[in-house]
Amino acid sequence: MNNISKETKKTLLYAIFFLVFYSIPLSSSVIHTSLIEAFEMLLEYAKDHVLLCLIPAFFIAGAITVFIKQESVLKYLGPKAKKVVSYTIASISGSILAVCSCTVLPLFKGIYKKGAGLGPAISFLYSGPAINVLAIILSAKVLGVKLGVARTVGAILFAFVIGLIMHLIFRKEDEARLKDEKMFSFQIEKQGRKLWQEGIYMGLMILILIFLNWAPSKDNIKFWDLFYSYKWLISGVFGAFLIIILWKWFKKDELKEWVIATRDFALQIVPLLFVGILVAGFLLGRPGHEALIPSKWISILVGGNSIFSNLFASISGALMYFATLTEIPILQGLLGAGMGQGPALALLLAGPSLSLPSILVIGSELGWKKTLTYVGIVVVMSTIAGILFGMLA
């Protein structure tokens, strides 16, 4: 296969695409509905998540790459850092962001390119969508205390264990990566800012990301809904402070490099992300909408507490795209349709942290060997956790 020219490979690829699209029975109502769902899901994602989630995340990722010192990343998140420290920092850093499996990707790429070890970077990648505080609270309130507690314990353990397993499997490759100075392509000269100034700058961007995506509570929690009522004002105030800081503390060349790094992240991630969303929408549809695979099939397949039902729930969760917190109402509907408690936990542990779009992007960054290993570990551990919980529930 390596002897085939690029032009021949392209020709074969175009031929495959032509045959696939030529053979699609567009007259079929199921195919027609699935195609509509694919583009509806992409449109919904673009409206609800690109401006408020992805773009702020890209800017944060660009800032991580350009402004955070590589020595600090290596000290706390590198392969030679103390495991308790590195994995704790990675898990906590991820859990403070109420982001989905796709929004966390540019942040993951940022710390990974800066020199974080594969293990801590994977812990961060998993913890961001899986352990955020709001998701844990809502899981307990809507799905029940048992399932909420099981999700909390499982997700925290998973963030540590999955990262450690990935580190052990790929330790030699990771150490070789970090010895290669060419891997870190965003090196700049030391800035004159102090650590607390960098902290305020990064903190403001994270707060803007959090409040832009602040959603109302399901049970009219006054304190929570008060923040929701003023989320635009709060975000605007933080944005004004950020503009002042950029004007006062940063040089024009630094800001230019930040924008370029942000642009590069967007160019790397967005095309793969959109393709993945189209495929996920075509196969599974949006929540409450039918596509190629009927939702009743899933409900039938994940009833009880068999190995198959838990494995199927884990694989389905790993491929489905869940916007932040949408896994809770989806799971509520599936539980009402007869889904078992074990498969419900399996889906909760595998679903928010993975999706077909995110798998495509992770594959472009880590390579398919590491990506499929990560996905496999998440699916297997989620299946085992689901079976054990199903026995106890």
With contact defined as beta carbons under 8 Å apart, do 157 and 127 qualify? no
pLDDT confidence of residue 165: 94
Q: For 257-268, what is each residue's pLDDT tens digit?
A: 889 988 887 887
pLDDT confidence of residue 51: 77
Phi, psi angles (nearest 5°) of residue 303: -80, 155
Task: Delimit the domains of the chain by residue range.
Answer: 31-181+250-392
Task: Quote the percentage of the chain above a pLDDT of 90.
Answer: 17
Is pLDDT above 50 for 284? yes
pLDDT confidence of residue 343: 93
Residue 247, H or E segment: helix 231-249
Q: pLDDT class for 333, splitting at 50, 70, 90?
A: low
Is pLDDT above 50 for 331? yes
pLDDT confidence of residue 219: 67
Q: What is the Cα–Cα distance from 10 to 54, expressed in whole angstroms?
A: 31
48 DSSP 8-state letter: I
Q: pLDDT class for 238, splitting at 50, 70, 90?
A: very high
The amino acid at residue 206 is: I
Q: pLDDT class for 384, splitting at 50, 70, 90?
A: very high
Q: What is the Cα–Cα distance from 21 to 261, expressed in whole angstroms?
A: 36
pLDDT confidence of residue 245: 92
Q: What is the Cα–Cα distance from 321 to 357, expressed in whole angstroms?
A: 7
Q: Name the token pair of 138.
A: 């809502």
Q: pLDDT class for 222, splitting at 50, 70, 90?
A: confident
Q: pLDDT class for 172, splitting at 50, 70, 90?
A: confident
Average pLDDT, stretch 247-262?
89
With contact defined as beta carbons under 8 Å apart, do 323 and 291 qualify? no
Phi, psi angles (nearest 5°) of residue 343: -60, -30
Average pLDDT, stretch 157-166?
91
Q: For 295-307, what is each residue's pLDDT tens digit?
A: 777 767 888 889 9
pLDDT confidence of residue 314: 93
pLDDT confidence of residue 132: 64
- Number of residues assigned to the chain: 393
Q: For 44-98, what is each residue's pLDDT tens digit?
A: 878 777 777 778 878 887 887 777 766 666 677 776 677 787 888 887 776 666 5
